[in-house]
């Protein structure tokens, strides 16, 4: 009787063990929920200028909230200020020539034309010396042909300008004809155009924000030199944000444009948020393919998927991790 009870007890224990092993095997073999990780991104604007110079003053710091049109940086450019003085002088001289041509030359006007001519001579002499130095360097193959051509063009322009100034002086002495009056007026318009060009460069010394946003990064410090087109700072537009995921194609499960997905943002807590898929495109294949199995089957490519949040998410910042489960 005891032997029978032992047999029964053993069978019960065996059945319990088999049930435990079966349940454990079921949960172990059960597919785990798939997790896709991405990150939040936002539109970024690089603030840069057309004029090279030195950073005179930075009006904002990293993290500052700015509005479109706010002045962010002042660039100091002595070259632009010198150019402004030159074009102002050229405009004044051209206007004097125009008045002289219209009213008849006076001694003061003749003297002004003479001074303009002498100024052009000095400019030509300076450019001639620069051209001769560049000629020697070019013959020694120290400078490129492009640099040589630029200096040669400036020298030839200076020669032409000196000749034009000489003609204006001769006209003042000899009296103006109708053609000369028209030419003098054209010089005034040319000088005004040059002034407008320099004024445009002056406006570029003040760099403004291209959009509402936050200053994400500032690259140079006050007093440092910046080149033409070199980025000075980055403005991030937090009102234009999206989520980016890199998903292997065998994990996409029929995702398509316009689908609504639920995402989690660990940095903002356990709440879930909805987002709408707005972009799907394959990534560069040389860096994103991966075999689905070690042997056989096929190579799966990776797709970039972007989703736009449905509404504003308070506290969301670029770079935060976003998860799809």
- pLDDT given for residue 75 in this prediction: 85
Phi, psi of 291 (to 5 degrees): -70, 140
List the beta bridge partners of residue 282.
303
Say if CB 80 and CB 257 are below 8 A apart. no
- Does the pLDDT of residue 208 top 70, yes or no? yes
Please tell me the distance from the alpha carbon of residue 170 to that of residue 101, in angstroms, as a whole number.
11
Q: What is the mean pLDDT of residues 74-99?
A: 73
- pLDDT given for residue 133 in this prediction: 78
DSSP state of 298: -
- Does the pLDDT of residue 213 top 80, yes or no? yes
Helix (H) or strand (E) holding 319: none
Among 161, 83, 180, which Cα is nearest to 123's?
161
- Does the pLDDT of residue 173 top 60, yes or no? yes
Please give the share of the chain, as a percent, with pLDDT higher than 90.
Answer: 26
- Does the pLDDT of residue 217 top 80, yes or no? yes
- Does the pLDDT of residue 42 top 80, yes or no? yes
- pLDDT given for residue 115 in this prediction: 80
Say if CB 207 and CB 58 are below 8 A apart. no
Q: How confident is the model at residue 273 (pLDDT cuts 50, 70, 90)?
A: very high
pLDDT digits (tens, 9 = 90+) for 60-77: 999 999 999 999 998 888
Strands (E), 49-154: 53-58, 65-66, 71-76
Q: What is the mean pLDDT of residues 34-51?
A: 89
Torsion of CA 189, 193, 198, 203, to 10 degrees: 120
pLDDT digits (tens, 9 = 90+) for 117-159: 787 787 777 778 777 877 887 777 777 878 777 778 887 887 8
Q: How confident is the model at residue 289 (pLDDT cuts 50, 70, 90)?
A: very low
Quote the mean pLDDT of the chain.
Answer: 78
Tell me the residue length of the chain: 325
Say if CB 302 and CB 283 are below 8 A apart. yes
Strand order from edge to edge, sheet including 206-208: 206-208, 71-76, 53-58, 225-226
Least confident segment among 190-194, 281-285, 319-323: 190-194
CA dihedral sign of residues 155, 156, 160, 161: negative
């Amino acid at each position: 009787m005891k032997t029978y009870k032992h047999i029964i007890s053993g069978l019960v224990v065996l059945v319990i063990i088999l049930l435990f092993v079966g349940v454990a095997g079921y949960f172990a073999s059960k597919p785990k929920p798939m997790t896709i990780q991405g990150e939040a991104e936002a539109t970024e604007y690089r603030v840069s200028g057309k004029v090279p110079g030195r950073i005179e003053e930075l009006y904002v710091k990293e993290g500052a909230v700015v509005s479109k049109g706010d002045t962010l940086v002042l660039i100091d450019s002595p070259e632009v200020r010198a150019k402004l003085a030159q074009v102002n002088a050229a405009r004044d001289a051209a206007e004097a020539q125009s008045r002289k041509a219209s009213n008849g030359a006076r001694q003061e006007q003749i003297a002004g034309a003479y001074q303009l001519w002498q100024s052009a001579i000095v400019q030509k002499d300076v450019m001639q010396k620069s051209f001769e130095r560049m000629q020697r360097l070019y013959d020694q193959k120290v400078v490129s042909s492009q640099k040589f051509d630029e200096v040669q063009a400036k020298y030839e322009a200076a020669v032409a300008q000196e000749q034009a100034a000489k003609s204006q002086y001769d006209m003042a002495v000899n009296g103006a004809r109708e053609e000369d009056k028209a030419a003098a007026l054209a010089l005034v318009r040319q000088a005004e155009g040059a002034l407008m060009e320099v004024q445009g460069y002056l406006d570029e010394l003040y760099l403004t924000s291209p959009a509402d946003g936050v200053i994400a990064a500032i690259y140079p410090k006050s007093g440092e030199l910046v080149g033409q087109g070199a980025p000075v700072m980055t403005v991030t537009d937090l009102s234009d944000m999206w989520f980016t995921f890199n998903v292997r194609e065998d994990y996409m499960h029929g995702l398509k444009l316009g689908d609504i997905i639920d995402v989690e943002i660990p940095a903002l807590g356990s709440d879930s948020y909805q987002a709408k898929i707005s972009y799907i495109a394959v990534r560069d294949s040389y860096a994103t393919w991966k075999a689905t199995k070690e042997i056989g089957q096929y190579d799966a490519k990776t797709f970039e998927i972007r989703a736009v949040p449905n509404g504003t998410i308070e506290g969301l910042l670029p770079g935060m991790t976003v998860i799809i489960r």
